[in-house]
Amino acid sequence: EKGTYDHFMLKEIDEQPLVMRKIIEAYENEQNQLVLPPEILSATTGCDRIYIIACGTSYHAGLVGKQLLEKLAQVSVEVHVASEFSYNMPLLSGKPLFIFISQSGETADSRSVLVKVKEMGFPALTLTNVPGSTLSREADYTLNLHAGPEIAVASTKAYTAQIAVLAILAATTAKAKGIQTDFDLVQELAIVANAMEVLTQQKETIEELAHAYLDTTRNAFFIGRSADYFVCLEGALKLKEISYIQAEGFAGGELKHGTIALIEEGTPVIALDTQAGVHGAIRGNVQEVVARGANALVVSMQGLELDEDAFVLPHVHELLTPLISVVPLQLLAYYAALHSDCDVDKPRNLAKSVTVE
Ligand code: F6R
């Protein structure tokens, strides 16, 4: 099943452009407009607040989804780690809608929240890659991620599929609420798919960067602001789980509040710069870490790039940059793990689906 690939993870990274196209196809009508079942749109337009519940990588996709739902559909969203939500439930709004994000649909931590939500009588929507999974069966509504089976333990194509489906949920909810936007998501996702394709063809460059920045290190930092911050959390998790390099993703503005103490000569710092509004601020953070000896690897987006940047992403809509900025981070993690002979597809201590709380 791996075909010519040595690892499922690399195959799944490469499948991402195709998954984007499958998602558009699955959710568009004959007029090329994105549509969702009316009962799902009644739920998103009729609630006063959305609570997104997920774990790990799916939680990171939820953080991006919050921004999409708030900016496009103007609905308040909270994102919670499922295990924490279970015993530390926030004060809920009057008409909540719960959205569970889960590649496997079997994650025990998320399942236990769904059981409580149903006991309280609140509606729930599950976004999953496995229709018919427990979280899908027990929720009122399901949206399929259409990513195809994800075999590697480290989640890649499910993450980008989750973000794309959340973007569709946000755009269709906005439309159902009569909110005017000049945002054509079908077109923007097609641009994303093409950009992903360009990125998956740059493996050699990224392998060299992994070699130069990560091969001999025990730790690494990922910094970004706004949407880039969420992707930094995911980039750090990918690197940790398959290469065992201790990695931390944090908001650029938080550096000076403590973490900068850890920067020493040669510490790799991977910085994302895809958001025009925080371009100056994140560049300031890069200068701060470089002044303290960091080995900075800047991943910027076309239009914001500087000559010294290690890697430049093709331009996509600012709300959708997580879909493409994550790709070089997935590949960096892959090559870092490969270079230290780690078991890429089956990292130690981890299971694909975590069915215990
Ligand atoms: C990381 C990873 C995990 C999962 C998490 C939730 O690469 O795969 O963090 O994202 O265990 O799993 P699902 O989405 O199946 O609920």
What ipTM describes this predicted complex?
A: 0.99
Ligand 1 pocket test, pick from 8, 107, 143, 350 with the greatest ligand atom count within 8 Å of Cβ, gives 107
- Say how far apart CA 144 and CA 155 lie, in whole Å: 16
pLDDT given for residue 165 in this prediction: 98
Nearest-CA residue for ligand 1 atom 11 is 56
- Centre of ligand 1 to C-alpha 256, Å, is 31
pLDDT given for residue 322 in this prediction: 98
- Centre of ligand 1 to C-alpha 277, Å, is 31
Kindly tell me if the per-residue pLDDT of 348 is higher than 90: no
Q: Is 352 tagged catalytic?
A: yes
Q: Which atom of ligand 1 is nearest to the CA of 54?
A: 16
Supply the mean pLDDT for the chain: 96
* Ligand 1, pocket residues at CB < 6 Å: 55-58, 102-104, 107, 110, 154-155, 237, 241, 353-354
Kindly tell me if the per-residue pLDDT of 349 is higher than 90: no
Kindly tell me if the per-residue pLDDT of 286 is higher than 90: yes
Kindly tell me if the per-residue pLDDT of 357 is higher than 90: no
Q: Where are the beta strands (DSSP E) in 156-304?
A: 219-224, 246-251, 268-273, 295-301
- Centre of ligand 1 to C-alpha 107, Å, is 8
Q: Using one digit for the tens of pLDDT, what is the confidence trace for 226-271?
A: 999 999 999 999 999 999 999 999 999 998 898 899 999 999 999 9
Q: Which atom of ligand 1 is nearest to the CA of 353?
A: 15
- Centre of ligand 1 to C-alpha 356, Å, is 13
Nearest-CA residue for ligand 1 atom 16 is 102
The one catalytic residue in 71, 118, 177, 352 is 352
Ligand 1 pocket test, pick from 12, 13, 57 with the greatest ligand atom count within 8 Å of Cβ, gives 57
**Which H helix or E strand runs over 144?**
strand 141-144
Q: Which atom of ligand 1 is nearest to the CA of 354?
A: 11
Higher pLDDT among residues 291 and 87, named by residue: 291
pLDDT given for residue 351 in this prediction: 81
- Say how far apart CA 79 and CA 64 lie, in whole Å: 10
The residues, ordered by sequence, that sit 6+ positions from 230 with a Cβ below 8 Å of its Cβ are 60, 63, 64, 67, 224, 322
Cα distance from N-terminal residue to C-terminal residue, the chain: 31
Q: Using one digit for the tens of pLDDT, what is the confidence trace for 205-228?
A: 999 999 999 999 999 999 999 999
- Centre of ligand 1 to C-alpha 1, Å, is 22
Indicate the range of 115-119, 262-266, 320-324, 352-356 predicted with least confidence. Answer: 352-356
Question: Taking the alpha carbons of 107, 110, 113, 118 in that order, is the dihedral positive or negative?
Answer: negative
Span 295-315, average pLDDT: 97
Instruction: Kindly indicate the confidence band of residue 331, based on its pLDDT and cuts at 50, 70 and 90.
Output: very high
Nearest-CA residue for ligand 1 atom 13 is 102
DSSP 203: H
Instruction: Kindly indicate the confidence band of residue 159, based on its pLDDT and cuts at 50, 70 and 90.
Output: very high
Burial 99-120 (b: 16+ CB within 10 A, else e): bbbbbbbbbebbbbbbeebeee
- Centre of ligand 1 to C-alpha 121, Å, is 27
Q: Using one digit for the tens of pLDDT, what is the confidence trace for 9-54?
A: 999 999 999 999 999 999 999 999 999 999 999 999 999 999 999 9
